[in-house]
C-alpha cells in the first residue's frame, strides 16, 4: 500500500516539480535536473505522505541531528504556501 501526498494551493494540487522550482527561486539556488532541492521530497515528502502534520515535520527537522540539512526552513516555506493532503492506496484484489 503506497503512501501518497499532494500539496495544495487554493484547494488545487500543484505539481511537485513546480513546487521544487518555486522553492529553488525562493532560496536563490539553481534547480538540479536530477535531485530535489535539499532532498525535500525524500524527507519532508515522505513524512507528509505518512500523514504527519507540518508541526510534526518541523519538530523533526528542528532537532540537532537535522540542523545541517537545511530542511527546517524548507518545511516552514512549504507550510506557508501549501496545504498537504495524504492518503494511501490499497492494492486491488481480483
Q: How large is the average pLDDT for residues 75-83?
A: 98
Q: Specify if 94 maps to a domain.
A: no
Higher pLDDT, 19 or 1: 19
Cα-flanking dihedrals φ and ψ of residue 92, to 5°?
-75, 140
How much of the chain, in percent, has pLDDT values that exceed 90?
89
Q: Specify if 28 maps to a domain.
A: yes
Asked if residues 71 and 38 have their Cβ atoms less than 8 Å apart, the reply is: yes
In this prediction the pTM is 0.91
Cα-flanking dihedrals φ and ψ of residue 37, to 5°?
-55, 125
Q: Specify if 24 maps to a domain.
A: yes
Q: Specify if 93 maps to a domain.
A: no
pLDDT band with cut points at 50, 70 and 90 for residue 88: confident
pLDDT band with cut points at 50, 70 and 90 for residue 1: low
Local structure of 51: helix, strand or coil: coil
Domain span holding position 64: 3-88
Q: Specify if 63 maps to a domain.
A: yes
CA-nearest of 11, 1, 2 to 84 is 11
- Residue 21 region, left (φ>0) first, then alpha (ψ -120 to 50), else beta? alpha
Q: How large is the average pLDDT for residues 57-66?
A: 96
Amino acid at each position: 500500500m503506497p503512501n501518497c501526498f499532494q500539496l495544495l494551493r487554493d484547494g488545487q494540487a500543484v505539481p511537485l516539480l513546480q513546487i521544487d522550482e518555486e522553492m529553488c527561486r525562493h532560496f536563490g539556488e539553481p534547480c538540479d535536473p536530477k535531485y530535489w532541492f535539499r532532498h525535500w521530497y525524500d524527507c519532508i515528502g515522505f513524512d507528509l505522505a505518512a500523514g504527519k502534520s507540518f508541526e510534526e515535520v518541523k519538530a523533526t527537522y528542528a532537532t540537532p541531528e537535522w540542523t545541517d540539512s537545511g530542511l527546517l526552513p524548507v518545511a516552514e516555506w512549504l507550510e506557508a504556501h501549501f496545504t498537504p493532503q495524504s492518503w494511501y492506496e490499497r492494492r486491488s484484489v481480483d
